């Protein structure tokens, strides 16, 4: 079975589009023909770029997905517009065995590979970071003391505090962890710790430990485009920090679609076959 098949089956059950389509937000700059002007200047809030909006990570061309995933991917007929390659495999461009895993990390990865049906989303558990920002869409809500991230794949809302507090020194591990953010010029930098070791970093099963610390950097280039960079640092499971970069596109005149994992869920009965 394709290593990412449980993830692909889960993606196939997700909502494909957003609600409130074509609602013309009066705050959206427009071209002469009435379309959202995605190259207009980025909006600002209290002197900083306003990151609020519904965003989607740049899509991976289907030929690139098919090159790695092969015939099984084609037969599944999953719309590749729903996700980007790094949600399948953070180490997409590395050959098998080149991942910077420690012996303990390699053992955890092997357990996931041998039990692909335990992928958290197939158990109606959160996908978490980074999948929340790489599958379908997510919504950023920027407020004076925090930024909230809502997802379209069923994860709990994520609170990123911007009130000057520090990360917890000894946090109780959780699915989404604990996040604080600050501005470095026009770049919003988020630090997250306190993640549990039950989450997977990608559909291939690369693990995370409770020592994982994630840094995100958001830079809104203009009204419709934002750069997002992740850095993962987990000395228990990985021999060095690693990361990924992606572009985000604003989905103007749109919103999130409600998704309830356990509603009409049929994946788990097929995953063991």
- 26-83 pLDDT, tens digit per residue, is 999 999 999 999 999 999 999 999 999 999 999 888 788 777 777 666 566 555 556 7
User: 27 vs 19, 40, 115, CA distance in Å?
Assistant: 19, 12, 48
- 166-217 pLDDT, tens digit per residue, is 999 999 999 999 999 999 999 999 999 999 999 999 989 999 999 999 999 9
Residue of 48, 77, 57 lying closest to 65 (CA atoms): 77
In the predicted structure, residue 7 carries a pLDDT above the cut 90: no
Q: How many domains does the chain have?
A: 1
Lowest mean pLDDT among 88-102, 116-130, 174-188, 252-266: 252-266
Task: Say if residues 220 and 42 touch (Cβ distance below 8 Å).
Answer: yes
* pLDDT value for 104: 98
Residue 8 domain flag: no
* pLDDT value for 6: 56
Q: In sequence order, which ranges of the chain are alpha helices (DSSP H)? A: 5-12, 62-69, 71-76, 85-88, 103-114, 268-271
Q: How confident is the model at residue 227 (pLDDT cuts 50, 70, 90)?
A: very high
Q: Which residues form the domain of 178? A: 51-252
State mean pLDDT over 221-235: 98
Q: How confident is the model at residue 116 (pLDDT cuts 50, 70, 90)?
A: confident
The count of C-alpha atoms lying within 13 angstroms of the C-alpha of 6, restricted to the half-sphere facing its C-beta, is: 26
Residue 13 domain flag: no
Residue 145 domain flag: yes
* pLDDT value for 8: 56
Residue 209 domain flag: yes
Calpha distance 194→164 (Å, rounded): 18
Element (H, E) at 244: strand 242-250
Tokens describing residue 67: 């090159």
* pLDDT value for 35: 94
The count of C-alpha atoms lying within 13 angstroms of the C-alpha of 141, restricted to the half-sphere facing its C-beta, is: 10
Residue 128 domain flag: yes
Looking at per-residue confidence, does 151 or 60 come out higher?
A: 151
Residue 56 domain flag: yes
State mean pLDDT over 13-38: 79
Residue 167 domain flag: yes
Tokens describing residue 47: 């002197």
In the predicted structure, residue 147 carries a pLDDT above the cut 90: yes
Tokens describing residue 134: 């790489």
* pLDDT value for 24: 87
Looking at per-residue confidence, does 22 or 168 come out higher?
A: 168
Looking at per-residue confidence, does 68 or 125 come out higher?
A: 125
Residue 184 domain flag: yes
* pLDDT value for 1: 43
């Amino acid at each position: 079975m394709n290593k990412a098949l449980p993830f692909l089956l889960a993606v196939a059950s997700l909502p494909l589009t957003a609600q409130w389509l074509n609602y013309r937000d009066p705050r959206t700059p427009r071209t002469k023909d009435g379309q959202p002007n995605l190259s207009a200047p980025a909006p600002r809030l209290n002197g900083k770029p306003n990151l609020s909006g519904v965003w989607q990570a740049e899509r991976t061309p289907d030929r690139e997905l098919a090159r790695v995933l092969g015939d099984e991917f084609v037969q599944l007929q999953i719309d590749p517009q729903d996700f980007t390659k790094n949600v399948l495999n953070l180490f997409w461009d590395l050959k098998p065995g080149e991942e910077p895993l420690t012996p303990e990390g390699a053992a955890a990865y092997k357990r996931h590979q041998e039990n692909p049906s335990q992928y958290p989303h197939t158990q109606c558990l959160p996908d978490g970071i980074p999948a929340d920002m790489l599958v379908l869409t997510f919504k950023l809500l920027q407020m004076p003391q925090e930024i909230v991230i809502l997802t379209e794949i069923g994860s709990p809302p994520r609170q990123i505090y911007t009130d000057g507090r520090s990360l917890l020194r000894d946090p109780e591990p959780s699915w989404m962890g604990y996040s604080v953010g600050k501005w470095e010029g026009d770049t919003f930098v988020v630090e997250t710790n306190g993640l549990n070791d039950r989450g997977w970093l990608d559909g291939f099963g690369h693990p995370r430990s409770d020592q994982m610390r994630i840094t995100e950097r958001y830079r809104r280039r203009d009204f419709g485009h934002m750069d997002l960079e992740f850095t993962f640092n987990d000395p228990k499971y990985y021999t060095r920090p690693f990361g990924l970069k992606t572009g985000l596109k604003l989905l103007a005149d749109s919103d999130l679609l409600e998704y309830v994992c356990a509603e009409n869920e049929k994946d788990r009965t097929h995953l063991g076959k």
